[in-house]
Amino acid sequence: MIVDVKGIVAGRAATRIAKALIKGETVIVLNAQDAVMVGNTPSIMEKFKRRTDASVLSNPHYGPKYARIPDRMFRRTVRNMLPTKKSAKERMIKRLKVFNAVPKEYASEKAITFEESRFNERHNAMTYKEIALQLGGRW
């Protein structure tokens, strides 16, 4: 299953992708950097900034490490919606591929878009690309 999440609310797309992974399908996600996170911009940035700034006081290099690249951020969103049994979760995650744009090998293939989950312009929101750029992500 190939999914294009450009302009789609990230959480709604992630739940459908997680359900497909649970059923045993292989899922390829395109345009992850254009997925939309709905909410107030300062509160979204505060949430992500708190995660990325967290460190161990004795040695900050120990972690925790959070991704600042949009495809990895979206992968984490999907991963957190999967069952918690580790071996099964790892098998499901291996069947998930996430890309920031459309790679050449998938350019000619038809992608599914979740039209009912499309972002409504009336609400405040940020794309994963905007979040990553504010966090200092480079890709």
Provide the whole-model pTM: 0.87
Q: What is the pLDDT of residue 139?
A: 78
Domain holding 85: CATH number? 3.90.1180.10
Domain range for 115: 2-135
Q: How confident is the model at residue 138 (pLDDT cuts 50, 70, 90)?
A: confident
**3-state SS of the chain?**
CEEECCCEEHHHHHHHHHHHHHHCCCEEEECHHHCEEECCHHHHHHHHHHHHHCCCCCCHHHCCCCCCCHHHHHHHHHHCCCCCCHHHHHHHHHCEEECCCCCHHHCCCCCECCHHHECCCCCCEEEHHHHHHHHCCCC
Provide mean pLDDT across the span 46-52. 86
Q: What is the pLDDT of residue 50?
A: 86
Highest mean pLDDT among 24-28, 43-47, 49-53: 24-28
Total tally of structural domains belonging to the chain:
1
- pLDDT beyond 90 at 29: yes
Q: What is the pLDDT of residue 51?
A: 81
The 10s digit of each residue's pLDDT in 56-89 is 777 777 877 788 899 999 999 999 999 988 888 9
Q: How confident is the model at residue 126 (pLDDT cuts 50, 70, 90)?
A: very high
Q: What is the pLDDT of residue 65?
A: 77
